[in-house]
Chain A
Amino acid sequence: MSLPIVDAVNEQYDSSTEPLLQIRDLEVGFQTQRGIVPAVRGVDLTLYPGQTLAIVGESGSGKSTTAQSIIDLLPGTGKVTGGQILFEGRDLTTLSAREIQEVRGNLIGYVPQDPMSNLNPVWSIGFQVEEAIKANNIAQGKEARLRTIQVLQEAGLSDAGDRLKQFPHQFSGGMRQRVLIGIGLSSRPKLLIADEPTSALDVTVQRQILDHLATLTRDYGTSVLFITHDLGLAAERAEQLVVMYQGKVVESGPSQEILANPQHPYTQRLVAAAPSLASRRIQAVKQNDSADTEIFAKGAIDTTLLERAAEREHAAPAKDLISVRNVSKVYRIRKQGFRTDELKAVNDVSFGVQKGTTTAIVGESGSGKSTVAKLLLQLESITSGTIEFDGQDIAGLRGSELLKFRRRVQPVFQDPYGSLDPQYSVGNTIAEPLLAHKVGSARERQTRVLELLDQVSLPASTRYRYPSELSGGQRQRIAIARALALKPDVLVLDEAVSALDVLVQGQILNLLTELQTELGLTYLFITHDLAVVRLVADNVCVMRKGQIIEAATTDEVFDNPRETYTQDLLAAIPGGNFEFGR
């Protein structure tokens, strides 16, 4: 079925070089109690038909606000305070609410960020897609139903007819995002705005979806405006880049040119901080390993696996500080009635961690990587197998033995907004472990708090502040300081940098590496992000469906992955194969 609108777009795309979207000197402000706070300060941007343009920036840079102002989706207190948004020569900022409604959905499609919350859980998928189709006057009545199936099929759901009656919770995150993309493209819009469309998804799913989106938009001749925090993804998916910082455009132009030759200091910083396959461990690894690293780096291709295994054994005579042997964790899930189902979250996992090294556990959501962390921290009980810490089985620890163990193994969690008690000042938060273990006098504890704040590079005055006043990166520093308070041997970092902007992330990774050399810490680094692994880890365990499918040194895994799954993971890293100018 060919829609007339498609032909119209194609014609225009072929014959005209008039810009489709032109933003001129756009200013957007948010009304607060203290007056209007500017969020976007004079942004210029040009997008031609059929082009893909990406706006890149960290959180708070105004990138989403810019996109939202195009289709008048600014949150209640936001307002365009100046400039023009020309779409096919028409200024969208001057349109009435009714007129903009015609443009929104019909001419400009929108794919929101979070596939989990952007579908209404009480209506079936079919109903929601059909609703969008009817609202945009694409088809009515019986035809709308047929069109719904077609849209879902195009979005990559092969059994669309059967799935119409299903509800959002029966769809995986990737499938929901496909549905949202389908809705966004259902009217064959001339422009599609995709606001971080895949940042909530696993990398392999992300790649599939972006590939699919690229195919669809190419077929329809739709221009795409990407909003992303990921420079690699932007460079890979868009011809044009616009780098935003503090509400302003700091650099814009063809992607490859900007990446190869970043001019503005901010862009240079971003490019330098972007983790990619090409990067190396942040700091020289420990003395006794450095020779091996050298060999791997130079002769990665011609050294055979057997030889390398032998080399590793030579280099690793030391005893493991943590040794995990055949550990499984089974959860019982209550089903209807009294029946229970077993879920094997961790299935027969074994690995060892040497003192002073970093071992990364990598996997996608649901792989069981966080459960391993919880088992090691004794926050969950082990179903079978043993975990030994410094020669001692941790499963049987009780009372003071357990306290002693907790002093030596400390966690840092993912969410810097959730892991600090909002009612506690920073000083009290850092002092809490000292208090719980009755270490020192009040004065000594204060001194230690100051020492710790200094170690994580925060000013002493921070101790009077509350978490709500701090940024994500600063909170994560506090969490690290708290974890270090008892001078532990091991830090378990569960996605500790995943929620942070790339520059802040780089800073925290540097801090962690410094602390490791300074204090001789051992890290267990749980993450979904392979690019980060390369920067910090000595050894990698790749987990999938509760099992470790590949375990080796970082260089081995990156240069010569054995398993197809690992290869897929590596290939899916956005911008992984890009040459970054640094």
Chain B
Amino acid sequence: MPNKKYASQGHYVAPLEDTPVAPIDKLDESQKARSTWADAWESMRRRPTFWISSVLIVLIVVVALFPGLFTSVSPDKNCLLANSNGGGEPGHPLGFTRQGCDVYARLIFGTQASVTVGLLATLLVTIVGIVIGALAGYYGGLLDSLVSRLGDIFFAIPTVLGAIVLMSVLPSRTPVTVALVLSIFAWPQIARIMRGAVLSAKNSDYVMASVALGVSRFKILLRHVVPNAIAPVIVIATVSLGTFIVAESTLSFLGIGLPPSVMSWGNDIGQARTSIRTSPQTLLYPAAALSLTVLSFLMLGDVVRDALDPKARARR
């Protein structure tokens, strides 16, 4: 052995007081117990983006539920053509539409329709997507093939194009029907994500362990697979809420969404396009409200994604 000539490589033993030996694999009881969701909350709580977007969303929902709290001006009565496209004045801070109605009041009262469509469509799409995606991914086989191809068919139709066709044949056009039509074309996305997440969760060892423990197949789906597969769906759902609000506006703008009698941001934007050069405020304010709402949901989706995905958290 050539070691003898290397004086610095003798047998070194660290002083015991510097390197105390801890008991093997002892549970650290000083930390508080936390679940994945508690962890996620902990991580969200620390981010200003979360608070900004949450406050905005709460505000938007309150406006949608109680528009009367925010304005005493009627949005569609007492519209004087004399005020047509007029600028801001005391009592009417954002000016008037082409019909002489108060822009601010229409903004406030239009929130309800837009937010209803967004929330309703998201809820429908999420429920349908989760159920269909989970069943297809978990049971596989023929069911999976059928559902996946069906999803592909709907996926191939552009949402707006499909909605235009469907809306034009519907007898009545209300926020509910608009939400329904949007969901018909949007569920395959959620179903696909759910299916993928279920596929990876169902092959995990804890599922196999549960099978060997004698837990029934359906109970395993409910208790183990779905809770572990749902995180990506929640993220996509928060993001798609914004896109549904935009889709409603698009349809209304094209004149086949909500009827002109229903106040919505989309309708207002649609009606404002004729006078955009002379009085941009009629277009600008509803568009800004729309952007702000979509932005809030996108920001929330972003925070939720980071919180539910520990890898993204570690990178920051």
Least distance between B37 CB and chain A CB atoms (Å): 8
- State whether A257 touches B11 (Cβ < 8 A): yes
- State whether B205 touches A253 (Cβ < 8 A): no
Interface residues of B in 7-47 (CB under 8 A from A): 8-14, 16, 18-19, 21-22, 24-25, 27, 29, 31, 33-36, 39, 46
Q: Hey, what's the 0/1 contact readout for B256-272 against A, CB within 8 Å counting as 1?
A: 00000000000000000
Least distance between A401 CB and chain B CB atoms (Å): 11
Q: Is A507 an interface residue (CB 8 A)?
A: yes
Residues of B within 8 A of A377 (CB): 212
- State whether B6 touches A423 (Cβ < 8 A): no
For this complex, into which size category does the number of interface residues on chain B fall?
35 or more
- State whether A413 touches B209 (Cβ < 8 A): yes
Given contacts A432-B210, A469-B33, 12 further A-B contacts (CB under 8 A): A33-B46, A239-B1, A245-B21, A249-B14, A251-B11, A265-B16, A418-B204, A420-B206, A432-B215, A473-B24, A474-B25, A479-B209
Q: Hey, what's the 0/1 contact readout for A239-261 against B, CB within 8 Å counting as 1?
A: 11000011011111110011001
Q: Is B78 an interface residue (CB 8 A)?
A: no
Residues of B within 8 A of A469 (CB): 31, 33-34
| Chain A CB within 10 A, most for which of B5, B205, B219 | B205
For this complex, into which size category does the number of interface residues on chain A fall?
35 or more
Q: Which residue of A lies closest to B313 (CB)?
A: A33
Residues of A within 8 A of B214 (CB): 402-403, 406-407, 433, 436-437
- State whether B224 touches A421 (Cβ < 8 A): yes
Interface residues of A in 421-448 (CB under 8 A from B): 421-425, 432-433, 436-437
Least distance between A101 CB and chain B CB atoms (Å): 23
- State whether A254 touches B215 (Cβ < 8 A): no
- State whether B1 touches A468 (Cβ < 8 A): no
Partner of A254, one of B9, B14, B16, B25: B9
Residues of A within 8 A of B278 (CB): none
- The CA-CA distance from A208 to B21 in the complex, in Å, is 36
Given contacts A410-B212, A421-B206, contact A250 B29 (CB under 8 A): no
| Chain B CB within 10 A, most for which of A76, A258, A423 | A423
Nearest first, the 4 A-B pairs at minimum CB distance are A253-B11, A418-B205, A406-B214, A419-B205
Stretch of A62-70, A359-367, A454-462 lying at the B interface: A454-462
Residues of B within 8 A of A257 (CB): 11
Least distance between B7 CB and chain A CB atoms (Å): 10
Least distance between B33 CB and chain A CB atoms (Å): 4
Q: Which residue of A lies closest to B5 (CB)?
A: A17
Q: Is B228 an interface residue (CB 8 A)?
A: yes
Residues of B within 8 A of A465 (CB): 33
Q: Is A90 an interface residue (CB 8 A)?
A: no
- State whether B24 touches A503 (Cβ < 8 A): yes
Least distance between B221 CB and chain A CB atoms (Å): 13
Instruction: Give 21 CB contacts A-B under 8 Å.
Output: A33-B46, A46-B9, A240-B9, A245-B21, A248-B19, A250-B13, A251-B13, A253-B10, A264-B16, A377-B212, A413-B205, A421-B210, A421-B224, A421-B227, A422-B228, A423-B35, A425-B35, A432-B215, A436-B214, A436-B219, A459-B29
* Residues of chain A having any CB pair with chain B under 8 Å: 17, 19, 33, 46, 48, 51, 76-77, 239-240, 245-246, 248-254, 257-258, 261, 263-266, 269, 377-379, 402-403, 406-407, 410-411, 413-415, 418-425, 432-433, 436-437, 458-459, 461-462, 464-466, 468-471, 473-474, 479, 482, 486, 503-504, 507
Residues of B within 8 A of A46 (CB): 6, 8-9
* Residues of chain B having any CB pair with chain A under 8 Å: 1-3, 5-6, 8-14, 16, 18-19, 21-22, 24-25, 27, 29, 31, 33-36, 39, 46, 204-206, 208-216, 219, 224, 227-228, 314-315
- State whether A250 touches B19 (Cβ < 8 A): yes
- State whether B27 touches A269 (Cβ < 8 A): no
- The CA-CA distance from A51 to B1 in the complex, in Å, is 10
Residues of A within 8 A of B315 (CB): 76
Given contacts A432-B213, A482-B213, contact A264 B14 (CB under 8 A): yes
A-B residue pair count with CB separations less than 8 angstroms: 151
Residues of B within 8 A of A254 (CB): 1, 3, 9, 11
Q: Which residue of B lies closest to A247 (CB)?
A: B19
- State whether A253 touches B212 (Cβ < 8 A): no
- State whether A269 touches B206 (Cβ < 8 A): no
Given contacts A76-B315, A469-B33, contact A17 B6 (CB under 8 A): yes
- State whether B27 touches A462 (Cβ < 8 A): yes
Residues of A within 8 A of B29 (CB): 459, 461
- State whether B36 touches A422 (Cβ < 8 A): yes
- State whether B25 touches A507 (Cβ < 8 A): yes
- State whether B19 touches A406 (Cβ < 8 A): no
- The CA-CA distance from A410 to B208 in the complex, in Å, is 11
Q: Which residue of A lies closest to B31 (CB)?
A: A469
Least distance between A18 CB and chain B CB atoms (Å): 11
Q: Which residue of A lies closest to B225 (CB)?
A: A421
- State whether A466 touches B206 (Cβ < 8 A): no
Partner of A410, one of B22, B46, B213: B213
Residues of A within 8 A of B314 (CB): 77
Given contacts A249-B12, A264-B14, contact A239 B27 (CB under 8 A): no
- The CA-CA distance from A415 to B25 in the complex, in Å, is 17
| Chain A CB within 10 A, most for which of B2, B6, B206, B228 | B206
Partner of B12, one of A252, A421, A462: A252
Residues of A within 8 A of B10 (CB): 253
- The CA-CA distance from A59 to B28 in the complex, in Å, is 17
Given contacts A239-B1, A413-B209, contact A269 B21 (CB under 8 A): yes
Q: Which residue of B lies closest to A240 (CB)?
A: B9
| Chain B CB within 10 A, most for which of A378, A422, A482 | A422
- The CA-CA distance from A474 to B211 in the complex, in Å, is 22
- The CA-CA distance from A446 to B215 in the complex, in Å, is 19
Residues of A within 8 A of B227 (CB): 421, 423
| Chain A CB within 10 A, most for which of B25, B31, B33, B219 | B25
Residues of B within 8 A of A437 (CB): 214
- State whether B12 touches A458 (Cβ < 8 A): no
- The CA-CA distance from A474 to B228 in the complex, in Å, is 22
Least distance between A244 CB and chain B CB atoms (Å): 10
Residues of B within 8 A of A240 (CB): 3, 9
- State whether B19 touches A246 (Cβ < 8 A): yes
- The CA-CA distance from A407 to B139 in the complex, in Å, is 25
Residues of A within 8 A of B204 (CB): 418
- State whether B25 touches A471 (Cβ < 8 A): yes
Residues of A within 8 A of B6 (CB): 17, 19, 46, 48
Given contacts A254-B1, A264-B19, A466-B36, contact A473 B215 (CB under 8 A): no
- The CA-CA distance from A326 to B27 in the complex, in Å, is 45
- State whether B13 touches A503 (Cβ < 8 A): no
- The CA-CA distance from A46 to B10 in the complex, in Å, is 10
Q: Which residue of B lies closest to A76 (CB)?
A: B315
- State whether A419 touches B209 (Cβ < 8 A): yes
Partner of A504, one of B11, B13, B24, B46: B24
Q: Which residue of B lies closest to A242 (CB)?
A: B12
Residues of A within 8 A of B34 (CB): 466, 469
- State whether A265 touches B21 (Cβ < 8 A): yes
- The CA-CA distance from A248 to B19 in the complex, in Å, is 7
Given contacts A413-B209, A418-B206, A421-B224, contact A266 B21 (CB under 8 A): yes
| Chain A CB within 10 A, most for which of B31, B214, B219 | B214
Partner of A466, one of B5, B24, B35: B35
Residues of B within 8 A of A265 (CB): 16, 21
Q: Which residue of A lies closest to B228 (CB)?
A: A423
